[in-house]
């Protein structure tokens, strides 16, 4: 039996080991940080399908993740074999159960459902449709046993083409006759209407630093700070701050509950960033992050070579054994 003195001594020594590791990491930032809790790797199904080729089935991504020895798969809703905007039918529910069984047989957790919606619109009927769509996606996540969905704020859509938006570095003018404050109010009100459904189903809403209102840390934090619900947090996409990313990632790290990690082998579909993942790992460790880091390989290289390279790099950066 351990005495109180022995337990206190062990606790003291444990704290000393953590402090030593932190000091070592600061002295040598190329060394992977020591995380207080476990970090797991996942693969986003988007890594295998960038909307430009034939759709890759989610089952295929689950199989490839199992072969690579990662723990989870982050599902892109548009990549599923159910209509994105269609009602969830009995046939659709059976598809979800088959996916869940397939993942279980492969030893893979289904960790996130990345969905699309747009709350930045002056038409209340349109926003109501987007809220209903989000409710349906929460149900899909619940059916799959997925604990988290990726949420978008939406954008003004004054630049219609996504390719043109990327050329503009994600910046677009506000809709004529409105102010940015209007967009934030619509978005906050809409997310608040999704929270009871999220709590009922046990599915956390993770608002991504995507385009539109959440293009900057200030915009993203303005929304999450206004709501302050245990069912709302931040999804950190490491590739969506195009300039000075590390300072911006640090600003949102404390509220982050899921990470999507971009890589760009073969150069990116829209842009290419040279990200230092050991530095990003240190930012997350300082914020006491724990949970999943999900790979989003957005390069043009064949994913069958680029995804394994990306996973190996992330394991090194985060100090995760092979």
More confident residue, 21 or 88: 88
**In the predicted model, is pLDDT for residue 7 greater than 50?**
no
Q: How much of the chain exceeds pLDDT 90, in percent?
A: 80
Instruction: Report in angstroms the alpha-carbon separations of 232 from 15, 50, 137, 271, 319.
Output: 31, 27, 15, 29, 28
What is the rounded distance in angstroms from the CA atom of residue 35 to the CA atom of residue 41? Answer: 14
Cα(105)–Cα(87) distance, integer angstroms = 28
Tens of pLDDT, residue by residue over 149-203, are 999 999 898 888 888 888 888 788 899 999 999 999 999 999 999 999 999 999 9
Q: Is pLDDT at 307 greater than 70 in this prediction? A: yes
Nearest to 107 by CA among 79, 137, 67: 67
Model confidence pLDDT, tens digit, residues 185-198: 999 999 999 999 99
Fold of 32-318: TIM Barrel (3.20.20)
Each residue's pLDDT tens digit, 61-95: 999 999 999 999 999 999 999 999 999 999 999 99
Q: Give the pLDDT of residue 162.
A: 81
**72 burial class (0-12, 13-18, 19+ CB within 10 angstroms)?**
buried
> Residue 28 has what pLDDT?
53
- What is the arithmetic mean of pLDDT over 271-290? 97
Q: What is the 3 state secondary structure string of 176-209? A: CCCCHHHHHHHHHHHHHHHHHHHHHHCCEEEEEC
Q: How far apart are CA 89 and CA 95, in angstroms?
A: 10
Q: How much is the pLDDT for 171?
A: 85
pTM (2 d.p.): 0.89
- pLDDT at 308 > cutoff 80: yes
Structure confidence by residue, pLDDT tens digits, 115-142: 999 999 999 999 999 999 999 999 999 9
pLDDT for 230 beyond 90: yes
The yes-or-no verdict on residue 20 having pLDDT over 70 is no
Q: Annotate 17-38 with DSSP letters as a single string.
A: HHHHHHHHHHH-TTSPP--SS-
Higher-pLDDT residue of 37 and 280 is 280
Q: In the chain, where are the structural domains located?
A: 1-31, 32-318
Residue 241, pLDDT > 80, answer yes
Mean confidence (pLDDT) of the chain:
91
Q: What is the pLDDT of residue 4?
A: 42
CA pair distance 57, 35, nearest whole angstrom? 34
Tell me the three state secondary structure of residue 293. Answer: strand
């Amino acid at each position: 039996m351990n005495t109180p003195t022995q337990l206190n001594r062990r606790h003291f020594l444990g704290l000393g080991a953590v402090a030593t590791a932190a000091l070592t990491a600061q002295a040598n930032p190329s060394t992977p940080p020591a995380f207080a809790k476990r970090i797991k790797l996942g693969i986003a199904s988007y890594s295998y399908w960038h909307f430009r080729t034939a759709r890759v089935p989610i089952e295929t991504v689950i199989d490839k993740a199992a072969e690579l020895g990662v723990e989870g798969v982050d599902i892109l809703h548009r990549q599923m074999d159910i209509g994105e905007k269609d009602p969830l039918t009995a046939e659709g529910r059976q598809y979800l159960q088959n996916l869940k069984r397939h993942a279980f047989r492969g030893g893979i957790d289904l960790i996130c459902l990345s969905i699309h919606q747009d709350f930045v619109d002056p038409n209340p009927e349109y926003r109501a449709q987007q809220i209903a769509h989000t409710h349906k996606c929460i149900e899909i996540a619940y059916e799959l046993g997925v604990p988290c969905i990726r949420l978008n704020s939406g954008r003004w859509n004054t630049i219609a083409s996504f390719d043109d938006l990327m050329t503009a570095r994600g910046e677009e003018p506000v809709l004529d006759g409105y102010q940015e404050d209007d967009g934030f109010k619509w978005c906050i009100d809409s997310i608040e209407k999704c929270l009871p459904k999220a709590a009922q189903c046990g599915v956390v809403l993770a608002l991504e630093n995507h385009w539109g209102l959440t293009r900057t840390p200030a915009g993203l934090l303005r929304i999450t700070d206004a709501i302050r619900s245990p069912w709302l947090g931040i999804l950190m996409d490491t590739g969506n701050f195009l300039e000075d990313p590390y300072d911006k990632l640090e600003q949102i790290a404390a509220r982050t509950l899921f990470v999507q990690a971009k890589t760009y082998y073969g150069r990116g579909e829209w842009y290419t960033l040279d990200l230092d993942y050991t530095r990003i790992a240190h930012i997350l460790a300082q914020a006491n992050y724990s949970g999943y880091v999900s790979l989003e390989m957005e390069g043009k290289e064949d994913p069958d070579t680029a995804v394994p390279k990306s996973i190996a790099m992330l394991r090194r950066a985060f100090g995760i054994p092979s």
